[in-house]
Structure 1
Amino acid sequence: MTDVPDDVADVFDARETFVPGGSGYVVETTSFEGHVTASEGEKWRTDYEVTVRAPTLQAATADDVGPAVRDGWFETFERRLEDAPKATRVAVDLDDYTVEEDGEEVVVTYRFSLGGEREAADVAKTFVEYVEGTYVEGIVPGYDYVGVVADLLSAASTGGSEGSRGGTPL
């Protein structure tokens, strides 16, 4: 059971992309964990929060990643993710945007308000996909990647999944 408004639940329930999870919906079409919640906003708007969890660069590799590379990668990733609203088909003004490390994960959170539930569902999906795509584009060559990142790289370069891979798909 979700805690989102009924009109939002109707739209999200009708989409194969989303499945109920926790107090909102989980995005099922990406490898990274994406979660969307919604609550009543001001006037005719609904407030949305999209949270995406991805591995840190160090957690995604079997190698030791030096602090300069880790810090540079994180700062670049954070800057590039600010552009997520430009990837949507509707005008979205972010109410809040954060990128934080939480142990071996990077937690990206977008908060926004919209009046149209269908548009909000599209925006939420786009944000989760944007984080995943930006992550893959920012992979640092020369490391032996493991887990979900290795799977993403393998799928990008071969169309399949091997579970362990070094380098980038380009």
Structure 2
Amino acid sequence: MSTDAAVRRAFERHETYTDADEGFVVETTVFDSRVVAEASEETVYTLTIRTPTLAGAVEEDVGDNLLAGWFETFERRVEDAPKAVRAEIDLTVDMHSEDGEAIVTLQFPFDRPDRAPAVVKAMAEYVEGTYVEGVVPGFTYRPPVSELLADATHSEETEHDRGGGPLPL
């Protein structure tokens, strides 16, 4: 079986993903998160997550300094995404804003097609959690951020929510 066939099969079998025109959509996050895998000498995964920028998420006007600081902080935190898994990940991060969205692209080689769906899921959820941690108090947030905040405030703590270590590999 070729590497790209093994990768496709792993994502198709994982309950977290739905097949998209190009790649797979992560269904466990509120933000649009999609992964594409390209195989040559090694399989490289590209996970793209589209989140609102601070200005795109709130009703009020936001000052330029706060906008710049929020984006820079979010970017620095996203660079720690490999800490969400117990694996050596050589991560390349690209972030930019476009039309009210912060577009996060995480790219990394990974040689275990059977574990790749869990690694991608963990990183997508890490980025979403990092986004929520960076919410600035005092603003009125629009959906989907307002929904994320409501869920975080009203959910009952479960065994899973108490934290824990990185995803084992």
Work out whether the TM-score is over 0.5: yes
**Partner of residue 31, structure 2:** 32
Compute the TM-score of the two structures, normalised by the length of structure 2: 0.87
**Partner of residue 91, structure 1:** 88
Give the aligned length: 154
Task: Specify the code of the residue in structure 1 equivalent to 2:146.
Answer: A
CA-CA distance at 1:159 after TM superposition: 2.5
Quote the Cα distance in structure 1 between the aligned partners of 2:40 and 2:81.
22
Match of 2:148 among 142, 152, 159: 152
Task: Specify the code of the residue in structure 1 equivalent to 2:133.
Answer: E
Q: How does 1:69-148 map to 2 (within 5 A)?
A: 69-94=66-91, 96-148=92-144
CA-CA distance at 1:78 after TM superposition: 0.5
Runs of 4+ in 1 over 6 A off after TM superposition: none
CA-CA distance at 1:97 after TM superposition: 1.2
**Partner of residue 17, structure 2:** 18
CA shift digits 1:16-42 (9 cap, x unpaired): 101101210000011011000011131
Task: Specify the code of the residue in structure 1 equivalent to 2:118.
Answer: D
Quote the Cα distance in structure 2 between the aligned partners of 1:32 and 1:64.
22
CA-CA distance at 1:11 after TM superposition: 0.5
CA-CA distance at 1:85 after TM superposition: 0.7
Compute the TM-score of the two structures, normalised by the length of structure 1: 0.87
Quote the Cα distance in structure 2 between the aligned partners of 1:22 and 1:53.
17
1:67 aligns with 2:67: no
* C-alpha contact (below 8 Å) 1:41/1:113 kept by paired residues: no
**Partner of residue 49, structure 1:** 46
CA shift digits 1:110-166 (9 cap, x unpaired): 111111112221111111101100000000000001110000000000129xxxxxx
Structure 1 unpaired stretches of 5+ = 161-170
* C-alpha contact (below 8 Å) 2:6/2:114 kept by paired residues: no
In proportion to residue count, which structure has more strand?
1
Structure 2 unpaired stretches of 5+ = 157-169
Cα RMSD of the aligned pairs, angstroms, is 1.4
Quote the Cα distance in structure 1 between the aligned partners of 2:114 and 2:98.
31
CA-CA distance at 1:6 after TM superposition: 1.2
Q: Which shows bigger deviation, 104-113 or 84-93?
A: 84-93
